[in-house]
Amino acid sequence: MKLIAIDSSGLVASVAIVEDDILVGEYNVQYKKTHSQTLLPMLDALKKMVDLDLKTVDAIALSKGPGSFTGLRIGSATAKGLGLAMKVPLVEIPTLDGLACNLYGVTDKLICPIMDARRNQVYTGLYRFDKSGNLVTEMEQIPMDVNELINLLLEKDEEVQFTGDGIQVYGSLILSKMKHACLAPAHLNKQRAGSVAYA
């Protein structure tokens, strides 16, 4: 199975090529350009770098949200256009599932992706990996007040690994209120197309 994966749900534009659970290549950019300027050139550069024959692609995986409306729209239009041209199906993956997959093999703790939704709100969900390495959803993705989320997690009284762009906005608040909180480092706390393909 060969996949092209796309994530444009946040500030990061990300494309990846995955073949039989091997990440062949991934291109991530968080810069001042819009996704409409970056996604196709990134995919073209990656295709050339790994000598990808588009006729061998089986499907396109894309992040379906939550996230930036404009970013999601651009990613969806890009994936749909490619899918139609290549005659391959699209597989939509919840953004937070992809973010949780950033931490595969890194933690056995409860995973809490948070995306900044502004006004003290985050898009969030709760996940963990079982002993077989499968992602298990413990709370479906939902918009929530960050303080309400913290209180919910305090009631669980267990270690929580946070990831997502919400760390930059709410990380200090979380650490001040939760003694069992860990914040993912920069290379694991943004959306990645490779994780979308895994999810």
Which tokens hold the place of 9? 């749900």
> pLDDT 10s digit of each residue in the chain, 199 long?
999 999 999 999 999 999 998 999 999 998 878 899 999 999 999 999 999 999 999 999 999 999 999 999 999 999 999 999 999 999 999 999 999 999 999 999 999 999 999 999 999 999 999 999 999 999 999 999 999 999 999 999 999 999 999 999 999 999 999 999 999 999 999 999 999 999 9
33 Cβ neighbours under 8 A, 6+ residues apart: 13
Which tokens hold the place of 32? 């001042």
Among the listed residues 26, 22, 72, the one whose alpha carbon sits nearest the alpha carbon of residue 45: 26
What pLDDT is attached to residue 32? Answer: 78
What pLDDT is attached to residue 112? Answer: 98
What's the rounded Cα separation, in Å, for the pair 117 and 130?
29
What pLDDT is attached to residue 33? Answer: 83
What pLDDT is attached to residue 95? Answer: 96
What pLDDT is attached to residue 177? Answer: 97
What pLDDT is attached to residue 31? Answer: 85
Query: Residue holding tokens 């914040």?
Result: 183
What's the rounded Cα separation, in Å, for the pair 118 and 100?
21
Cis peptide before 66 (omega within 30 of 0): yes
123 Cβ neighbours under 8 A, 6+ residues apart: 66, 67, 95, 96, 114, 115, 117, 141, 142, 143, 144
